[in-house]
Amino acid sequence: MTKLNVPPFCNEPLTDYNDPVNRQLMEAALATVKSQLGQTYPLVIGGEEIYLEDTLVSVNPANPDEVVGRFPKATVELGNRAIEAAAKAFETWQYTPYTERVRLVLAGAELLRQRKHEFSAWMVYEVGKSWPEADADTAETIDFLEYYARQMLRLGAPQDLVRIDGEQNDLEYVPLGVGVVIPPWNFPGAIMAGMSSAAIVSGNTIVLKPASTSPVIAAQFHRIMTEVGLPPVFNLSGQPRR
């Protein structure tokens, strides 16, 4: 099993926007994100991207005429399919060495750190957060990935037990299966990613149904985790049709 040398946990620093360099970085990120507004995003089930005609339109609450993105409304059948895909992926993911799961979550944290201003910019547009509020949400998103990864290193290692002569006892923490993640809109990065990463790093698989007002932020996080090599254990579902 690969040994990971991970430094002690440290909170992600907040961005000082009094610094003109940081303001320029955020302004550039806002311009980049603005050029990507209005895209249509897919459901992702078992690694397959699924586009539907029936979509939820996410708008900028500070400018309702500005479409941030369109996200599919899932059917009951697709919801069930996502659960089944997650259950199938669990058959192998639960046996993936915990150090490999930790490595992938830490890689996601690092890539998010590199793109933190863009991730914050998505929150400015999609849920109307101010720059400092969005930056704090992004920093907490990174913190959750970093923290849960370290907790898995602790829980995955051999556990101390009271030793009794004549007995051989071991304690292991085991994954449970499929989790459904339904986060709120007000912390669309931190709570969404925290719930998702905690389940994934501990060997479970998930179906994420993002808040109806912040599906694009969830899609951006899913892209980051896919980009670092996370296998299809992370399914992205949509607001159910009514």
- Which pLDDT value is given to residue 242? 58
72 assigned to some structural domain: yes
Least Cα distance to 231 among 102, 101, 78 occurs for: 101
Question: Positive or negative, the Cα torsion across 113, 188, 219, 125?
Answer: negative
**Is residue 30 one of the residues assigned to a domain?**
no
Return the structure tokens found at 196: 């998702």
Q: Which residues, at least 6 apart from 156, have a Cβ–Cβ distance to it below 8 Å?
A: 98, 99, 102, 173
- Residue 185 in any domain: the answer is yes
Structure tokens at 16: 């000082």
62 within a domain of the structure (yes/no): yes
Listed in sequence order, the residues at least 6 apart from 140 whose beta carbon sits closer than 8 Å to its beta carbon are 12, 187, 189, 190, 194
**Is 32 within a domain?**
no
pLDDT along the chain (242 residues), means of 10: 83 98 98 98 97 96 97 94 98 97 98 98 98 98 98 92 86 95 96 98 98 97 98 90 60
DSSP H or E segment with residue 25: helix 20-34
What's the distance, CA 151 to chain centroid? Answer: 17
Q: How much is the pLDDT for 241?
A: 61
CATH of the domain at 228: 3.40.605.10
Q: What would the two tokens of residue 70 be? A: 């369109």
CA–CA gap between residue 9 and residue 17 (Å, rounded)? 24
- Residue pair 119/138 in contact by the 8 Å Cβ criterion: yes
Domain holding 232, by residue range, is 43-157+173-236
Phi and psi for 14 in degrees, rounded to 5?
-80, 155
Q: Which residue has the tokens 């007002």?
A: 213
Q: How many domains does the chain have?
A: 1
Mark out the alpha helices in 59-189 (DSSP H runs): 76-93, 98-114, 116-127, 131-156
Tokens 């709570």 correspond to: 191
Is 224 part of a structural domain of the chain?
yes
